[in-house]
Structure 1
Amino acid sequence: MSEVELYPGRVSPLGLGTIPHADILKYTGLELLQRIVDGKYPAPPISFQLNFTLTEVSEGRAVFRGMPSERHLNPLGSVHGGWAAT
């Protein structure tokens, strides 16, 4: 079975996008994340939906900064655990 890339290396008008499969094979996970922080790769589309951004990475650590909005609330009015855990 072959692998399929749905949106290889695509960048949207919002500056969001995906990493080309060849680059995923070329770099370590830490290197890929650092390249996102450095602006060499676009932010992933999920960062727009969840309103957060990757701000720093190091071995065993990734720091995201974000602000939940009304769309991230659960029925009780608090921030949904899925947003906080992501």
Structure 2
Amino acid sequence: MNYIAHIRESDKQVQTVEEHLLRVKELAEIYGEKIGIKHLAGLAGMLRDLGKYTNEFKEYILEAVNNPNSPPKRGNVRNLHNKVHKMIFLQK
């Protein structure tokens, strides 16, 4: 199953979560290398959006694209990200 990170408005091109995480990792490593934390920055970049690897986020993003005049509230995603971060870092 492909999880969706973004859907481009202009042509509805999907960026998968895997593609997104790898691109964020690459960019974070470029910036991190300048201050001597290349790999740490890459890891942090990847961990940041792990909450997108959920059915809830996939439903959220599809709802936002399919109903642009009545998109779901953004806070719903923030809550999802917080839940995933707690699961990973606090083991709750």
**TM-score interval for Structure 1 and Structure 2 normalised by the shorter chain:** under 0.3
Query: Larger RCO: Structure 1 or Structure 2 (Cα < 8 Å, ≥ 6 residues apart)?
Result: 2
TM-score by length of 2: 0.25
Q: Which has the higher strand share?
A: 1
Structure ranking higher in helix proportion: 2
